[in-house]
């Protein structure tokens, strides 16, 4: 993705607490909340070997960071009406994913991710509150819903 430097600086750059995995999603979400547009280029071709430097997408490292950061991104950025409406589906998906991880022998990494996500919630909630109170959230939840409802989250 390409972003204007002033926009990225205004929303706070990458959140270093994420370290890796979904830090780009977090940044993009914050840019959307701040009212910055995102453009899609259907003809663009991207070649990306996902998780190649961390042992593959099913490695304990990738599972841990991806699933910890998924919780943080959801809690940190989801507008209140959407948070309330999507929390149960989010929790249901967590249960289904746990069962998949159990079958693949990756349940320990998944559970550690969720444990540490919960332990990190006080810091994440402070960041959410700061962004909301400082005026970084400039668009309403309906505008965010239109992006979510477009189907990208189903992929």
8: in domain = no
Task: Give the per-residue pLDDT at 100.
Answer: 96
Task: Give the per-residue pLDDT at 54.
Answer: 65
144: in domain = yes
135: in domain = yes
Percent of the chain with pLDDT over 70: 90
At residue 44 the predicted structure's pLDDT band, cuts being 50, 70 and 90, is confident
44: in domain = no
Highest averaged pLDDT of the listed ranges 32-46, 47-61, 96-110, 133-147: 96-110
Please state the rounded mean pLDDT for residues 117-122: 98
Please state the rounded mean pLDDT for residues 96-125: 97
Task: Give the per-residue pLDDT at 142.
Answer: 92
Length of the chain counted residue by residue: 155
At residue 46 the predicted structure's pLDDT band, cuts being 50, 70 and 90, is confident
47: in domain = no
Flag whether pLDDT at 67 surpasses 60.
yes
How high does pLDDT run on average in the chain? 90
42: in domain = no
> Domain limits at 93?
17-35+52-154
Flag whether pLDDT at 16 surpasses 80.
yes
68: in domain = yes
Domain count, the chain: 1
Decide: 101 and 117 in contact? Cβ < 8 Å.
no
10: in domain = no
Flag whether pLDDT at 88 surpasses 70.
yes
Percent of the chain with pLDDT over 90: 75
């Amino acid at each position: 993705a390409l972003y204007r430097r002033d926009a990225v600086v205004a929303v706070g750059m990458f959140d270093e607490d994420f370290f890796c995995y979904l830090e780009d999603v977090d940044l993009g979400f914050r840019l959307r909340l701040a009212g910055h547009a995102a453009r899609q280029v259907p003809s663009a071709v991207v070649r990306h070997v996902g998780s190649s430097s961390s042992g593959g997408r099913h490695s304990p490292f990738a599972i841990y960071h991806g699933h910890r950061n998924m919780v943080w991104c959801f809690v940190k950025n989801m507008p209140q009406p959407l948070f309330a409406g999507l929390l149960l589906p989010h929790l249901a998906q967590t249960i289904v994913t746990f069962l998949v991880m159990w079958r693949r022998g990756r349940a320990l990494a998944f559970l550690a991710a969720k444990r540490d996500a919960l332990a990190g919630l006080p810091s994440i909630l402070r960041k959410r509150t700061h962004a909301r109170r400082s005026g970084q959230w400039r668009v309403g939840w309906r505008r965010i819903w239109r992006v979510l409802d477009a189907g990208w989250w189903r992929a």
